[in-house]
């Protein structure tokens, strides 16, 4: 009898297990995203120097359109293929200076091909050719081609190599993202890039200066998902920093960016938007939130007041003037037409339907004034995720003079510093 009872109990448990299994539905993100790799992210896991995957590497001989290099990859074959990124070094340097980055990214579930260039003095166009050739070889002929998803490819690079990555991203719009690390920007203009783009800068970089990158960032189309993290207290060589100093912060943000755009892994999106979840080692951050699948951010077209976070007062055209050159100021919010600002598809802030907010210069301290709408860069603005409003021409931020809070405080352009007097909310 006891044996029959145990058999019957086992049968009941088995049936219950089946029923419970049928009733247990996997999380939507796991069910809907076949590219998701690795466990759920945590702040500690993201900050770690090593991810959940064991890795291996192989030397790549020169040929196939590029100068060889090293490929790093997860050894796990149970989770399917992985997204892949080819990365180019800077002018006059070799991949060995960046070798720390390959295994670190691979350990989080990516195939990484760090290339050598055909010549140490190759310029951006040549490096773009080599990055694309490297990706073509990686998916078609490499010894790890069976581990690579040919539909999830990206490019990256440092300095001149970053310029190559940006050119490659413009040439091949099927890429998932382009990563520029203190990149040279050909012609200083990125208006032709349509794929998600992140530009990493160094706060103390005197080669690719923060102002240079801010100006280039401002030329990225408003419909392109983008971000600009600035690495605190780092100069031009942070990408070759071996993970020391704040170069680890750069690697951390880069990994999250790749998870979002190469793996379409929305589990990581909140670590980038509405602001960075971990700002350690980061001195500045701009992003076109939301970021990720379906996160394309066309310019807003609403009409609203712009309220200064420090003063609690509105951006106002004094005395409802419509005279060109009138400097705007702070004033009690009152709903007047001189406080109603319309964002246009051309990145303008329009008032009265015919006048646009502009800058009367490109240096810190330039006045923010109204004038006839002309479409020039002086009248174009980026409304950033952190609440700053950045002038496209100069890269400077809309600023309440001297952090003033009183009615009549003049509004100028000033070096972006994330102060509350540079933060504006739409009301």
**Which residues are part of the catalytic machinery?**
159, 205, 236
Kindly state the tokens that stand for 53. Answer: 């995957």
Q: Would you put residue 26 in left (φ > 0), alpha (ψ -120 to 50) or beta?
A: beta
DSSP element (H, E) containing 156:
strand 148-158
Q: How many CA atoms lie within 13 A of 78 on its CB side?
A: 4
What is the rounded CA–CA span in Å between residue 16 and residue 135? 50
What is the rounded CA–CA span in Å between residue 94 and residue 100? 13
Neighbours of 417 (CB within 10 A): 12
Question: Which 3 state secondary structure label does DSSP give 360?
Answer: coil
Helix%, strand%, coil% for the chain, nearest 5: 30, 25, 45
**Count of all residues that appear for the chain in the document:** 427
| CA distance readout (Å), 146 to 34, 108, 225, 396, 414 | 17, 18, 30, 47, 52
Bridge partners for 349 per DSSP: 343
Q: Are 112 and 87 spatial neighbours (Cβ–Cβ below 8 Å)?
A: yes
Strands 111-115 and 177-181: unpaired
Bridge partners for 341 per DSSP: 304
Q: How many CA atoms lie within 13 A of 105 on its CB side?
A: 32
What is the rounded CA–CA span in Å between residue 208 and residue 182? 6
Q: Scanning the structure block, which residue is given the tokens 């909310």?
A: 425
If 0-12 CB within 10 Å is exposed, 13-18 middle and 19+ buried, where does residue 403 land?
middle
Which value, in Å, is the radius of gyration of the alpha carbons in the chain?
Answer: 25
- For residue 236, which of 100, 113, 90, 103 has the smallest C-alpha distance? 90
Q: Roughly what angle, to the nearest 10 degrees, separates helices 124-140 and 160-171? A: 60
Q: Are 170 and 220 spatial neighbours (Cβ–Cβ below 8 Å)?
A: no
């Amino acid at each position: 009898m006891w044996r029959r009872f145990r058999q019957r109990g086992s049968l009941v448990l088995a049936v219950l297990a089946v029923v419970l299994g049928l009733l247990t539905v996997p999380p939507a993100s796991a069910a809907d995203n076949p590219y998701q790799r690795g466990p759920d992210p945590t702040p500690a896991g993201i900050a770690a120097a090593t991810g959940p995957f064991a890795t291996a590497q192989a030397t790549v001989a020169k040929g196939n359109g590029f100068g060889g290099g090293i490929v790093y990859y997860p050894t796990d074959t149970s989770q399917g293929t992985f997204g892949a990124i080819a990365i180019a070094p800077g002018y006059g340097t070799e991949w060995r200076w960046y070798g720390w980055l390959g295994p670190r990214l691979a350990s989080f579930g990516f195939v990484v091909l760090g290339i050598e260039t055909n010549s140490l003095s190759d310029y951006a166009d040549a490096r773009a050719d080599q990055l694309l050739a490297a990706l073509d070889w990686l998916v078609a002929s490499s010894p790890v081609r069976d581990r690579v998803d040919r539909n999830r490819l990206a490019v990256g690079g440092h300095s001149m190599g970053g310029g190559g990555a940006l050119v490659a991203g413009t040439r091949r719009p099927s890429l998932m993202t382009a990563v520029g690390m203190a990149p040279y920007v050909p012609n200083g203009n990125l208006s032709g890039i349509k794929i998600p783009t992140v530009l990493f800068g160094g706060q103390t970089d005197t080669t690719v200066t923060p102002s240079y990158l801010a100006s280039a960032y401002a030329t990225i189309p408003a419909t392109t998902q983008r971000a600009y993290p600035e690495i605190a207290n780092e100069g031009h060589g942070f990408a070759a920093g071996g993970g020391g100093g704040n170069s680890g912060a750069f690697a951390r943000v880069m990994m999250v960016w790749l998870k979002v755009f190469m793996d379409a892994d929305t589990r990581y999106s909140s670590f980038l938007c509405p602001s960075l979840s971990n700002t350690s080692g980061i001195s500045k951050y701009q992003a076109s939130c939301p970021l990720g699948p379906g996160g394309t951010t066309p310019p807003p077209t609403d009409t609203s007041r712009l309220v200064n976070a420090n003063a609690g007062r509105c951006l106002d055209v004094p005395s409802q003037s419509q005279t060109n050159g009138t400097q705007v100021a702070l004033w009690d919010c009152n709903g007047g037409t001189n406080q109603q600002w319309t964002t246009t598809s051309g990145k303008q802030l329009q008032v009265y339907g015919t006048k646009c907010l502009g800058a009367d210069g490109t240096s810190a301290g330039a006045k923010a004034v109204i004038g006839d709408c002309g479409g020039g860069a002086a009248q174009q603005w980026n409304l950033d995720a952190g609440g700053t409003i950045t002038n496209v021409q100069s890269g400077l931020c809309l600023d309440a003079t001297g952090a003033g809070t009183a009615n009549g405080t003049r509004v100028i352009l000033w070096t972006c510093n994330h102060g509350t007097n540079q933060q504006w909310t739409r009301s």
